[in-house]
Amino acid sequence: MNVSVVSPPRSGTLGTNASRPDGVAKVQGGFAFSSDTWAENMLWGATLRSPHPFARIVSIDVTAAWKIDGVEVIVIADDVPGLNAYGLIVQDQPVFAKVGDLVRYSGEPIAAVAADHPETCKRALEAIKVEYEVFDPVVDPEECIAGRAPEIHPHGNVFRHQRIVTGDQSVEGDVVVEGDYEIGMQDQAFLGLEAALAIPDSGGDGVELYIATQWLHEDRKQIAACLGLPEEKVRLVLGGVGGAFGAREDISLQVHTCLLALRTGRPVRIAYGREESFFGHVHRHPARIWMRHHATRDGRIVKIESRMVFDGGAYCSTSPAVLINGITHTQGPYKCDNALVDGYAVRTNNPPCGAMRGFGVVQACYAHESQMDKLAAACGIDPVEIRLLNAMETGDRLITGQVVDSVAPVEECIRATAAIPLPPDLESDPDFRDIPGGSGRTADRSHIRRGIGWGVSIKNMMYSEGFDDYSTARCRISNGVVTVKFATAEVGQGFVMLAQQIARTVLGVDEVLLDTIDTQVGSAGSTSASRQTWMSGGAVNAACVAVRDKVMAHVAQYHDLEVANLAIDGTDVVDTRGNFRVAVSDVIAHLEIDETVEYHHPPTEDLDENGQGNCHVAFAFVAHRAVVDVDPELGLVKVVQVATAQDVGRVLNPLSCVGQVEGGIAQGLGLAVMEEIVVTNGKVRNPSFTDYLLPTFLDAPAVEAVFIEEFEPKSPLGAKGVGEPPCISVTPAIANAIRNATGRELPRVPIRPYDVCL
Amino acid sequence: MSVALPTSVGEVVDLLAHNPEATLLAGGTDLMVEVNLHGRRPGDVVALHRVSELRTWSLDTSRRTVTIGSGVPYAEMETGELARLVPALAEAARTVGSPQIRAAGTLGGNLGTCSPAGDGLPILSALDALIDVVGPNGQRQVRFADFMVGVKKNSLQPSEFVRSVTLPLVEGWQGYAKVGTRNAMVIATASVCLVRSIDHVAVALGAVGPTIIRATEAERWLVANHVMSSPPNVETLSEFGRMVREASRPIDDHRSTAAYRRHAVGVLAQRLLTRSYS
Ligand SMILES: Cc1cc2nc3c(=O)[nH]c(=O)nc-3n(C[C@H](O)[C@H](O)[C@H](O)COP(=O)(O)OP(=O)(O)OC[C@H]3O[C@@H](n4cnc5c(N)ncnc54)[C@H](O)[C@@H]3O)c2cc1C
């Protein structure tokens, strides 16, 4: 790229706090989220779900429901015209559980209705009689691994088993520490609930779906297969998305909504409430991890052993990929030559689990960072020192044999975090809002002890194991107007703003229009895996560069200049060897240019049976230091401050980076001390925001963030994804701080008050 | 469904007399959750918002009592004169939900719902509040202990409703503390209200039994065994905490464990007692 960016950068270009095109509408409440969509003559849809985690459906009787005035259609498994199954990796999850077949989790869809009013839908669902033969649910992953549990699904009870064996297994450390860790089931808890509007084509042979999703094209592929339609007959348009965090990667209401619309010939809308949302999407995998670290007396890691078990719940979703992410990140951001890791992702009758911010690495990181503190204590070394001592660098080999060829500023992240000033001590008579217990006024100053804890992490970016998750972008100039189109799901992260920043920078224009985000252009891949800035940013950049090349060629030809000497300077095209200068807006006023470009990342490989292979594309690193005030007698906490230095490659929009960091830290704090879907015997016991607790303003800490900017040469814009790292190592940092304050082992998250004080 | 919008207590009495099945709507912060989340479909609704008498409070200096209308929102109890007169109620009000909930939610609604985790209720219990109940047969005063009779059960008769609550002004100290799993907007997993005067202590426990529980033995023991004018020593605190724990009858549920709740009320009672001398 030979863009000469003037300093300071022009407003709205890369590196600036460009304002978001959707920002004002979102703040003022005018932004149309998916749940705000509406169409003339629209019907409402609703879903009947199994109350049982494991049962056979003996019969479904819909006669009474049909008789209710206003009911337009009732659909069950037999009405699915195509494949009655979907799934991101394998298609093992039915659109509706079928009579004679099993329901495998509490909440599994059995039927859907469309009616004139949500209230009619509700009554219709109550009138459908389903007879079940109820079985004891399989809820213990170990029973599945041992082969002792009844088979839940024809595909078996183990989604994937993978080992990593590397180096010399006979190596023993002078110092050995081990632990059994447990991570609870976290929910993505986006605020914009699942909602979709399906509008059937007039001939009834196609459908348009307005949907809040993370990946339009993958949805379309699965929906078309279930509907038995060619993909071009299913058109998806992105509805306003209010957060995603992985929960919108899988199919939820997409097929149901389309099916109801096609059957009635009328637009149909389904919108979940909060309770149904807990049953409608996958969650973060609960996991049990055993880990043993061997180190030299002075604290150098020489071998890591681990066994990880991820409970994937009833259906596959992305469990195999989550498992691979977990086990391939066992070592964390530390050097390690010898390892033996055994990982399982299994099927149970618990709620299905899949993608959530951090994707398997959150679980692994909680274990390895807990271990690092144990190791530090066992070696008598400071927790910061032991991390610096083992810090990974560019060129190091992972336990998978892959060489880390990304920029790897682990040491810089740790040192920059350590340099951030600690918060002042608590005052002698602090405000109740500033101490554990908050508005409950449970503690006085004398009851509180302060702890400091560290967490450092490595996170892969983009998809792994040979998957080509390319992205597509189109850039057009017509009548002097620049328009960019892509299918990248804007879920709140701000890609719409970034795309404009890229186009302004590359093309030297101020106004950039964004076309509708839909399936009328090639796939962008998923808005997940910290990948869209890199991948779709790369695609938009490439499309804009292709257009710019044509603009330059035109200028060169028209003014008889050497194309190689032309460059964009601000909003002008200039001849770098002469005095020629012309405004881009003048040049493009009469040009018609249209370029569509795909961006692909370098290919990756599968792992072999020993878990060896270059399976990941690139890595990002981050360090977190948490300062936590603890009331040890009541087990209540207040996270006072989180300091962090994150490896971001290059900051493209400072405010956006800070937003990702602060949000990620709040989410990681949630996992550390409060967010958990409580499941007993296959049943969710807290499917509401009354009982599934998210951090409030009084729980969120002060965040002090520093960005480590070292241009990543592999990345098209030099930037790394910033979305996932903030939520990964902050969880163990907080746990380590609570351990530091209380001396308790605390092997599980979320840490509940009674874990601390009883 | 019909919605009646009475403007006086008399009208409410008439409406309920004619339709004992009617549902009262105060701030709606419990009722609307019932409707939206649990599918409750009230037939006829009597909305109390326009009954200005229910939204006022008054001080009786001769009897030394405060009477708070059942429709006064928590936001009004948090600060100002009412907070000065009944500080424990102010502290309890401050812990309720979020500012939005406190702007709408009322003591009448808290009493109507009668959840053991209701934050207003331990205050009414510890202060031996009288609940002013109105019905077709006129007005009666019910001791709080006789008002709350079980989990989400009160002793209101058909067509009766809560007009106000009357609280004594107590010479001495009062305070409230509540444990939840986050630092704001959380349902109590255990809570304690403690009121102490020169010769008296009252300890009411929330969320650790089917009703609000008074730790009467702990109260009596303390008065009998402790010089009330001086701060308790370690032994006294420890025995007091033990007796409070004994008084609780908590359960295990998805919010917490019985063991933790029992432990927590002991700790809170000890801390409040200590705080009452600071
Ligand atoms: C997000 C949220 C957070 C909350 N947090 C808390 C909390 O921290 N602590 C807490 O204690 N509660 C909490 N609540 C519950 C609720 O706010 C309180 O119970 C509140 O006191 C209810 O008052 P209301 O005026 O809104 O009652 P409403 O919802 O209007 O009524 C509740 C019930 O009482 C009946 N009722 C109303 N007025 C009268 C009357 N005068 N006489 C007889 N019956 C009557 C109604 O018919 C209904 O059955 C929360 C609720 C929400 C939605």
Q: What is the mean pLDDT of each run of 10 residues along chain B (278 residues)?
A: 96 97 98 91 96 98 98 97 98 97 98 98 98 97 98 97 97 97 95 96 98 98 92 97 98 96 98 96
Which ligand 1 atom minimizes the distance to the CA of B24? Answer: 47
Whether A753 and A730 map to the same domain: the answer is yes
Question: CA A167 to CA A338: how far, in whole Å?
Answer: 4
Q: What is the CATH number of the domain that holds A82?
A: 3.90.1170.50
CATH code given to domain B3-168: 3.30.465.10
Local structure of residue A411 (DSSP, 8 states) = H
Q: A274: which residues sit within 8 A by CB, 6+ positions away? A: A193, A687, A688, A689
Q: Quick one: angle between helices A254-264 and A216-227, nearest 10?
A: 50
Cβ contact B176–A441 (<8 Å): yes
Residue of A nearest to B88 (CA): A441
Would the CB of B45 count as within 6 Å of ligand 1?
Answer: no
Q: CB atoms < 10 A from the CB of A56, how many?
A: 16
Q: What is the CATH number of the domain that holds A419?
A: 3.30.365.10
Residue A280 lies inside a defined structural domain of this protein: no
Residue of A nearest to B261 (CA): A754
With beta carbons less than 8 A apart as the criterion, state whether A727 and A700 touch. no
Which of A567, A599, A631 is a domain's end point?
A599
Task: Determine the distance separating the centroid of ligand 1 and the alpha carbon of B153, expressed in angstroms.
Answer: 14
Residue A194 lies inside a defined structural domain of this protein: no
The predicted structure's pLDDT at residue A2: 47
Residue A744 lies inside a defined structural domain of this protein: yes
Cβ contact B94–A697 (<8 Å): no
Would the CB of B268 count as within 6 Å of ligand 1?
Answer: no
Best B94, B95, B181, B255 residue to mutate vs chain A (most A CBs within 10 Å): B181
Per the listing, tokens 């299905």 go with A352
Using a CB-CB cut-off of 8 Å, the residues of chain A touching B180 are 440
The ranges of chain A with pLDDT < 50 are: 1-6
pTM of the model: 0.97
Whether A738 and A616 map to the same domain: the answer is yes
Distance from CA of A437 to the nearest CA of B (A): 5
**What does the mean pLDDT of chain B come to?**
97
Distance from CA of B187 to the nearest CA of A (A): 8
Cβ contact A441–B256 (<8 Å): no
Query: How do the domains of chain B map onto residue ranges?
Result: 3-168, 173-275
Whether A324 and A455 map to the same domain: the answer is yes
Residue A174 lies inside a defined structural domain of this protein: no
Interfacial residues of A (vs B; Cβ cutoff 8 Å): 122, 273, 275, 433, 436-444, 447, 633-636, 638, 673-674, 678, 680, 685-686, 688, 690-691, 693, 695-699, 752-754, 757-758
Which of A599, A629, A662 is a domain's end point?
A599
For B102-149, write each residue's pLDDT tens digit.
999 999 999 999 999 999 999 999 999 999 999 999 999 999 999 999
Would the CB of B25 count as within 6 Å of ligand 1?
Answer: yes
With beta carbons less than 8 A apart as the criterion, state whether A626 and A453 touch. yes
Would the CB of B23 count as within 6 Å of ligand 1?
Answer: yes
Cβ contact A752–B185 (<8 Å): no
Question: CA B277 to CA B196: how far, in whole Å?
Answer: 10
**What does the mean pLDDT of chain A come to?**
97
A693 vs B177, B182, B191: nearest CB: B182
Whether A558 and A516 map to the same domain: the answer is yes
Using a CB-CB cut-off of 8 Å, the residues of chain B touching A699 are 182-184
Residue A143 lies inside a defined structural domain of this protein: no
Whether A123 and A55 map to the same domain: the answer is yes
Distance from CA of A698 to the nearest CA of B (A): 6
Instruction: Identify which of B19, B24, B68, B94 to mutate to test ligand 1's pocket (most ligand atoms within 8 A of the CB).
Output: B24
Task: Determine the distance separating the centroid of ligand 1 and the alpha carbon of A704, expressed in angstroms.
Answer: 39
Whether A558 and A505 map to the same domain: the answer is yes
Residue A568 lies inside a defined structural domain of this protein: yes
For A80-126, write each residue's pLDDT tens digit.
999 999 999 999 999 999 999 999 999 999 999 999 999 999 999 99
Q: Give the 3-state secondary structure of residue A630.
A: strand
With beta carbons less than 8 A apart as the criterion, state whether A38 and A91 touch. no
The CATH T-level fold of domain B173-275 is: Enolase-like; domain 1 (3.30.390)
Task: Determine the distance separating the centroid of ligand 1 and the alpha carbon of B115, expressed in angstroms.
Answer: 9
The predicted structure's pLDDT at residue A520: 98
The predicted structure's pLDDT at residue A7: 59
A758 vs B37, B191, B259: nearest CB: B259
Question: CA A270 to CA A73: how far, in whole Å?
Answer: 14
Residue A736 lies inside a defined structural domain of this protein: yes
Task: Determine the distance separating the centroid of ligand 1 and the alpha carbon of A123, expressed in angstroms.
Answer: 27
Question: CA A674 to CA A670: how far, in whole Å?
Answer: 5
Task: Determine the distance separating the centroid of ligand 1 and the alpha carbon of A144, expressed in angstroms.
Answer: 46
B260 vs A685, A699, A753: nearest CB: A753
Question: CA A188 to CA A185: how far, in whole Å?
Answer: 10
Question: CA A370 to CA A180: how far, in whole Å?
Answer: 10
Peptide bond into A603 cis (omega under 30): no
Cβ contact A440–B183 (<8 Å): yes
Q: Is the ipTM of this complex over 0.90?
A: yes
Rounded to the nearest 5 degrees, what angle is found at the Cα of A488, between the Cα atoms of A483 and A493?
105
Would the CB of B112 count as within 6 Å of ligand 1?
Answer: yes
The predicted structure's pLDDT at residue A9: 86
Number of domains, chain A: 3
Q: How many CB pairs under 8 A join A and B?
A: 101
Best B182, B237, B263 residue to mutate vs chain A (most A CBs within 10 Å): B182
Residue A356 lies inside a defined structural domain of this protein: yes
Q: Which runs of E-coded beta strand occur in A12-89?
A: 43-49, 55-61, 71-75
A439 vs B95, B254, B271: nearest CB: B95
Domain carrying residue A582: 23-31+469-599
Cβ contact A691–B255 (<8 Å): yes
Cβ contact B37–A441 (<8 Å): no
Cβ contact B263–A758 (<8 Å): yes
Pairing mode of beta strands B190-197, A618-631 = unpaired
Whether A503 and A424 map to the same domain: the answer is no
Whether A415 and A484 map to the same domain: the answer is no
B186 vs A443, A688, A693: nearest CB: A693
Locate all alpha helices (DSSP H) within A523-583, ordered by sequence.
532-559
**Closest CA relative to residue B91, chosen from B195, B5, B20, B11:** B195
Local structure of residue B131 (DSSP, 8 states) = E
Whether A260 and A332 map to the same domain: the answer is no
The predicted structure's pLDDT at residue A711: 97
